[in-house]
Amino acid sequence: MATAVNAGARLDRLPISSFHYRIFWLVGAGMFFDGYDLYIAGGVLASTVQTKFSTVPQNLQFISVTFVGMTLGALITGFAGDRFGRRFTYQINLLIFGLASLAAAFAQDMNQLIACRFVQGLGLGAEIVVGYSTLTEFVPPKTRGRWLSMMAFLVVAGFPVTALLGYLIIPAFGWRPMFVIAGIGSLIVWYLRKSLPESPRWLESQGRAAEAEALMQSIETESAGSGTLPPVVVPAPVAQVAAMDMLKPPLLQRLLVGCWVLITINTLIFGFVIFLPQFFLRQGLTIANSLAYTLVLSIGSLVGCALGAWSSDAIGRRWSIIGASVVTIISGYIYARFNAASDPAIVLSVGFVLIVAIYVQTAILFGVYTPELFPTEIRLRANGICNTLGRGATVVSPFIVGSLMASYQLPGVVWLMIGLVLVQIVVVWAWGVEPRNRGLEEVAGAG
């Protein structure tokens, strides 16, 4: 969209500077605690049951309200972020999340903890929508995939950190300090993020040209240092869109792509990856509960995110998604066809490859691809809708997985995952656009 400010074109030609690193760490710190708290349930719920603070049905309710809260949080934040701005929405979300985490640490019974978890879930769902979308609007096209995938790396890093802290803290001090860490950490980031600027792209899309221009001049001064900035290359004008345009081509196809890929990756993680230890345990494989398995799972997830950070810019989003999907299908087939859980060597080797492939998709689909699909005016709303349906899948997928496991064992679950990934390949190939090395405004105007 060509206006007097041209915020998008001016941001896209900036060299990487301290400004970009500051934005990355201010947003990334909050995203890390989002990932930390997302994986906190395993150790906390094991402790609450052991100490008779909760029962198994209450633990299931705890997990359920987490996903319900995340689903609602993603939807609400999408609309709030486009209406009130990225910075305002991010700060309110983090404040609510931090206070709810501290309240959870002092819950007097499981019902209070469940209520606090619902509020935390709102924050968890909101953070992932506004965090990725905000960073998308600041970083340049040539390295945008790398920046956003490394943001996903920070989120996934919450998994091994949570596992390690849980191992060190819960046996000695109980589960409450785990929530204290999340609460205090989030509130510290909330305070530091008062210096987070609003998105100039969003300000311009709202007609607030004077604010956008003043902010752009400040950003350019910091980025230039003592040097000279490259010239501004203004893209072709792009018509401004409204929310209802999401229901018309080509945005409708992009919305369908975004919804399906997030449904798929959420189901892979919360219907498959999280349940892998239980699958192996039910088949008599004791390695499922060992430190070695946890280490392999953690390393595989981090390697996958790092690989996604490289491939999204080097190869492109679409080919990276399709390639990782094919590897997921092949390695998943080996599990289903050859009963991989019977051999620990296959569990560690094929399982590592499978986890890496899944987390390549995690990094690109959550962090990179979905926020890029939509114009600035509706980016958070569209991304919020995609994440709402994706998180909604986490509400029902455990029940589907449980039924398949009871009837068809691990192969039944794997074939469900393979079916979802096959459809993902088709929709990304047919309707997906390639944002690699393209400005957001150029991607918005692509047919």
**131 token code pair:** 């965090």
DSSP assignment of 134-161: HHHTTS-GGGHHHHHHHHHHHHHHHHHH
User: Mind listing the pLDDT tens digit for each residue in 85-133?
Assistant: 999 998 898 999 999 999 999 999 999 999 999 999 999 899 889 999 9
Distances (CA, A) of 310 to 19, 257, 316: 22, 22, 9
d(CA 365, CA 353): 18
Topology annotation, domain 7-219 = Growth Hormone; Chain: A; (1.20.1250)
Question: In CATH terms, are 7-219 and 243-445 the same topology?
Answer: yes
What is the number of residues in the chain?
447
- pLDDT above 90: residue 11: yes
Angle between helices 344-362 and 291-314 (to 10 degrees): 40
User: What pLDDT does 294 receive?
Assistant: 60
pLDDT, mean of residues 409-415: 84
Q: From the centroid of its chain, how far is CA 277?
A: 22
Taking Cα atoms as reference points, which of 193, 9, 14 lies closest to residue 86?
193
Confidence of residue 282 (pLDDT cuts 50, 70, 90): low
Instruction: State which amino acid sits at residue 70.
Output: M
How big is the chain by its Cα radius of gyration, in Å?
22
Token pair recorded at residue 3: 């206006």
Q: What is the pLDDT of residues 28-38, one digit of tens each?
A: 999 999 889 88
Give the per-residue pLDDT at 405. 79
Identify the sign of the CA torsion 193, 198, 201, 202. Answer: positive
Q: pLDDT tens for residues 343-383?
A: 677 777 888 899 999 999 999 999 899 999 999 999 999 99
CATH 2.60.40.10 at 243-445, yes or no: no
Q: Where do we find the tokens 């040539």? A: 142
Answer positive or negative: Cα dihedral of 289, 292, 296, 299: positive
Quick one: DSSP state of residue 206?
T
- C-alpha span between 89 and 67 (Å, rounded): 20
What is the distance between the alpha carbons of residues 111 and 447, in angstroms, rounded to a whole number? 50
Full DSSP string of 372-419: HTS-GGGHHHHHHHHHHHHHHHHHHHHHHHHHHHHHHHHHHHHHHHHH
Please state, for a pLDDT cut of 90, what percent of the chain lies above it: 64
Tell me whether residue 339 is exposed, middle or buried, using C-beta atoms within 10 angstroms of its C-beta: 0 to 12, 13 to 18, 19 or more.
middle
Q: In the prediction, which pLDDT does 287 show?
A: 39
Residue 1 has pLDDT above 70, yes or no: no
Q: How far apart are CA 300 and CA 298, in angstroms?
A: 5
Q: How far is CA 279 from CA 235, 287, 349, 396, in A?
A: 52, 11, 17, 18
Q: Residue 290: is its pLDDT beyond 70? A: no
Average pLDDT, the chain: 89
224 vs 399: which has the higher pLDDT = 224
Classify residue 174 as exposed, middle or buried by CB count within 10 Å of its CB (0-12, 13-18, 19+): middle
The residues near 244 (Cβ < 8 Å, ≥ 6 apart) are: none
Q: Confidence band (pLDDT; 50, 70, 90) for 54?
A: very high
How high is the pLDDT of residue 142?
93
Token representation of residue 214: 């003043």
Most confident of 4-8, 61-65, 156-160, 187-191: 187-191
CA 61 to chain centre: 23
Domain ranges of the chain: 7-219, 243-445
Q: Which residue, among 394, 368, 379, has the nearest Cα to 89 in the 3D structure?
A: 379
In this model, does residue 391 exceed pLDDT 80? yes
Residue with more model confidence, 251 or 293: 251
Q: Residue with structure tokens 């998180």?
A: 391
Residue 250 preceded by cis peptide, ω within 30: yes
Cα separation, 430 vs 433, whole angstroms: 9
Q: What is the pLDDT of residues 208-247, one digit of tens each?
A: 999 999 999 999 999 988 788 999 988 777 788 988 999 9
Structure-token pair, residue 388: 């709402």
Phi, psi (degrees; rounded to nearest 5) at 103: -60, -40
Q: What is the DSSP letter of 234?
A: P
Cβ atoms of residues 276 and 297 within 8 Å: yes
